[in-house]
């Protein structure tokens, strides 16, 4: 973790891929956790857009869980998810994987078809969550 302005906490964990640009994995303001757009890159790994869609989606959700944990939150505390997919035909597959990770919790969500994503990836996701009560 690093410090930004006094009211903003910047989150960084080695359990998720390091940012590839000038941004943080997440930023916490008050009890809200804002997770940056996550591409399917394993921690310490190189971008590999040849992975099947399902593996890319699993990677993004694992990274999200790791970053949320580092910020004092988890998938059960996600308020809003925005998902970008390069092929709307993958919506059903993503929905199944998302449901498996979130269980009974159903945060607000948008799935947005886009013409392309960085490195040729098939999926990217950003989240807004609240911190767990113990982390507040």
- At residue 136, the pLDDT reads 64
The whole-number average pLDDT for the span 28-45 is 96
Tell me: the pLDDT tens digits for 90-99? Answer: 999 999 999 9
Mean pLDDT, residues 104-127 taken together: 97
Q: Which domains does the chain have, with CATH numbers?
A: 2-135 (3.30.1330.40)
pTM for the full model? 0.93
Number of neighbours of residue 128 by Cβ within 10 angstroms: 17
């Amino acid at each position: 973790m690093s410090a930004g302005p006094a009211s903003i906490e910047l989150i960084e964990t080695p359990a998720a891929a390091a940012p590839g640009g000038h941004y943080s994995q997440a930023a916490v303001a008050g009890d809200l956790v804002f997770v940056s757009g996550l591409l399917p890159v394993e921690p310490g790994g190189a971008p590999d857009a040849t992975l099947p869609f399902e593996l890319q989606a699993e990677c993004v959700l694992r990274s999200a869980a790791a970053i949320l944990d580092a910020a004092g939150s988890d998938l059960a505390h996600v308020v809003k998810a925005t998902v970008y997919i390069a092929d709307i035909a993958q919506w059903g597959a993503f929905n199944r994987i998302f449901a498996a990770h979130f269980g009974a919790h159903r945060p607000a969500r948008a799935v947005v078809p886009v013409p392309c994503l960085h490195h040729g990836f098939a999926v990217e996701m950003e989240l807004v969550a609240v911190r767990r009560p113990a982390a507040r």
